[in-house]
Structure formats: C-alpha cells, structure tokens
Amino acid sequence: MKKVLLSEKIDDAGIDLLKQNGFDVTVAPDTDVDSMKAAIADAYAVIMRSSQLPAEVIAAGKQLKIISRNGTGINNVDVDAATKQHVLVAKVNGANAFSVAEYVMTTMLMLSRRIAETDQTLRDHKTELAGVSLPGFATANNLNGHELRGKTLAILGLGKIGQVLVKLAQAFGMNVIGYDPYLKDAPVKLYDSLTDIYPIADFLSINMPLTPETKNMITSKELGLMKSSAYIINSARGGIINEADLAAALNADQLAGAAIDSFNPEPPAADNPLFTSKHTIVTSHIAGTTQEANAALGTGAAQAIIDFSNGQMPEFPVNPTVFDN
C-alpha cells in the first residue's frame, strides 16, 4: 500500500478520497526538518499545506514520486530540488477562489464602514449611552463610513481569484481596474504600469504570488503614491508589502486602513508593527480556508496523487517535464 504523508492534516474529504483509492494516509508528527525527514523516508507522496519542504527533506524521500500542494502557492516547496530528484510537484488552482474573493469584499466593507472601530467605540462607551442618539454618537465619534459604490478597486493579479473578485466588486457598483503582466485579455481595464494604478485606487487588492519579482514590491515609495483615503487588502502572500513601511504609513495617516491576512514571516513575530498600527485588520491566513474551500483543496490535492498513480498527468503540474521522464 502506497503511503501518502500529510505535513499537516488536510480536510477529511481529501483523506477519505485517498483511502478509498487504496492509499495509506499518515500525518507527520511535526513539521520541523528532522520530523519530516523521518516521516517522508518511505512515502510515495506528500501533501503540503503552509509549512516548508526544503531540499534536505525532499532528498530524504527515497521513494517519493509526487509532492501535492494543498493550495495554489508553491513558495514553500523547493521545486528545483524536487525536479532534480525527478519528483513531480502539483498544486490546486481555483478551489478557494470564491473564498478569497469573499474575504476581500468582507474586509473592504469592514474598513470602509468602520465596523471594527464602531464595535470597539460602542463597547468602550457603553455606560454613557443612556438617552444618547446612536446616529449622533456615530457622527460625534467619526464612525460614519463610506459606500463601496463608485469607488475604484485595483486588483493586482487577475487569475482565478482576481476574476471572481471582479464580479463581486462590480455587483457592488465599483469601478474595477487591474494589473497583470501575464494576461492579455481581461474583463476590466488593464494597466501596464503600477505607478499609474497607485494614485487612482481607492482600494488595492493584492492577489499575486510571492516571486522574486513581487517580493517587497510595495514599500514606502509606492505607498506614498496612494491616496490618503485609500485602503490595502493583502490576501495573497506576506513579503509582497514591506510591513514596517505599511505600518508607518498607516500610523502617519498616509493611508486610511489595511487588511492583512498573510505575513512575512509566518507566524508573525509578537513585535510585528501591524499588530499596533492604526485602522488595521489582521487575520490568521483565513482568506482561503472556509470549510467549503478546505474540502475542495483537500480533494484536489488528493486527486493529483490519484491521477499520478494511475499514470495520468495531474491537472495542475508545476514541473511537468518530470512526468515525461
């Protein structure tokens, strides 16, 4: 029976699918290098979530044939090392696209309507509310926010997530524009230069992978080009935005707010400046992890292994030349 190692537990739907197809499924006792090296030694396949899979762990997988990523991003897997060892790397595309797009819409609404501030201010003044007009209270405390309608949303990265987000934002009456150097046709106006986008965006949604080109892409220089009334939402990967620069811009009121779901590194350190920056929503990498998305990701990652075992190319290979060899 072929062993499938899970670096971390995936959704039960994926585990059940593997077992139904005759695989032995084991969850690693820990994600540190030594634990993974021991657990991967006799594994036919491994499914990775967010933990790292470095070259030395891959090398320890003497029977390893396929690495399946329980998600879209592959920055936590050493693909070059896998390729040299003739191990196929596959991923799952689009399974959590609606979940992430919904997160962006949720946080845009929370930021623009000042939901978190209103909740906290009301709690802080609960003993002073007798006889007070609540609409007057909101006005006095600057809690009246803005509609999304008519605002410009700039989406950086118009893949599956970005394209779902376009539809949701347009349903709210937003003007949607985009940037994606790898896309020729898009449902919205595409800009060739990010410097043209920053000054006109009311909301900036980052939906790009972390690559050498996107690492530290947004710093104080780029933030300085944006409106002081603008908001940033990063539901992609930490490292694309310089966190110290973003926190400084928020604290200086150079931006109106931000929602950050991914950090660099993860987990974030206790002294990460975004924990204390003004008008900032921080979440624990939940954008793409609704129960529905988790089930789709788990079954997608499992299906890649099943297909490979049956001699078929998985739907979303990363290094497909390995399959030919």
CA distance 163 to 183: 12
226, 198 Cβ separation under 8 angstroms: yes
Token pair of 253 as six digits: 């009121």
**Angle (CA) 277 283 287, round 5°:** 135
Joined tokens for residue 150: 């008519």
Indicate the SS3 state at residue 297: helix
Q: DSSP states of 231-300 as a string? A: EEEE-S-TTSB-HHHHHHHHHTTSSSEEEE---SSSSPPTT-GGGTSTTEEE-SS-TT--HHHHHHHHHH
Rounded CA gap, 274 and 56, in Å?
33
The whole-angstrom separation of Cα 23 and Cα 40 is 15
The CA distance from 127 to 53, in Å, is: 53
Q: Where are the beta strands (DSSP E) in 120-163?
A: 152-156
Which of 198, 258, 211 has its CA nearest to residue 239? 211
Name the token pair of 17. 């699918």
Provide the annotated active-site residues. 237, 266, 285
